[in-house]
Amino acid sequence: MGEPLCKKCGKPLSTAEAEYCPDCGRKKHLYVRGRAALEYDSVMRESIGRFKYKNRREYGDFYVQELLRACGEAVRSWNPDLLIPIPLHKSRRRKRGFNQAELIARGLGKELGIPVSADSLLRTKKTSPQKELNDQERKSNLKNAFQLAKDNVKFKKILLIDDIYTTGSTIDAAASVLLDHGAEKVYFLCISIGRGY
């Protein structure tokens, strides 16, 4: 994805005059910055769908390489201490067999030499799929959805990893828990992101 991108979430913008997408312009996010490798279009919808629901784990290698190519420089400038994949609820993980965000986080951690913690953040509430909800519903859907496995966060700069970014509700909900327990800065990286218009 080329410029112009939203300076906060990294969504592609249709005009170079805008600094922020409409979403980031009206909403205060808890993360510092975020980026994604690919635009969430019909091709990516299908690709990520196969990755998550048809057990095409090998797609993970491609996504990791795309993230490094498109966002590696940004990640190095943020200099995170730890990568944390957005967790799945245990029932969803059991059904799927793996957490797609964890697969990506492990690949990135290996390439960038950054530790990965897949068990420090837990999803304690079985939430509805975000894609089916509006902005307000997304927020309440994720209220108290995450908690820390341990009481405090030893790492100060955390990079959250997820597959798709739309409104930032999931990232904000996870960031809130981390910031409340000692993290100083939270960033995010996603495989794919919607347009900012």
The structure tokens listed for 35 are: 């980026």
Rounded Cα gap, residues 46 and 86, in angstroms: 21
104 vs 125, higher pLDDT: 104
With contact defined as beta carbons under 8 Å apart, do 165 and 190 qualify?
yes
Between vectors from CA 54 to CA 53 and to CA 58, what angle results, nearest 5°? 110
Amino acid identity at 49: G
Q: If you compute the radius of gyration of the chain from its CA atoms, what whole number of angstroms results?
A: 16
- Residue 33 is predicted with a pLDDT of 97
Q: Could you state, in order of their start, the residue ranges of all structural domains in the chain?
A: 22-163+173-193
Selected from 1.20.1440, 3.40.50, 3.40.1350, 3.90.350, the CATH number assigned to the domain covering 22-163+173-193 reads: 3.40.50
| pTM (2 d.p.) | 0.90
Q: For 76-124, how does the pLDDT look when each residue is reduced to its tens digit (9 = 90+)?
A: 999 999 999 999 988 888 888 899 999 999 999 999 999 999 988 988 8
Instruction: Kindly tell me the number of DSSP H helices and DSSP E strands found in the chain.
Output: 7, 6
Residue linked to tokens 């922020």: 20
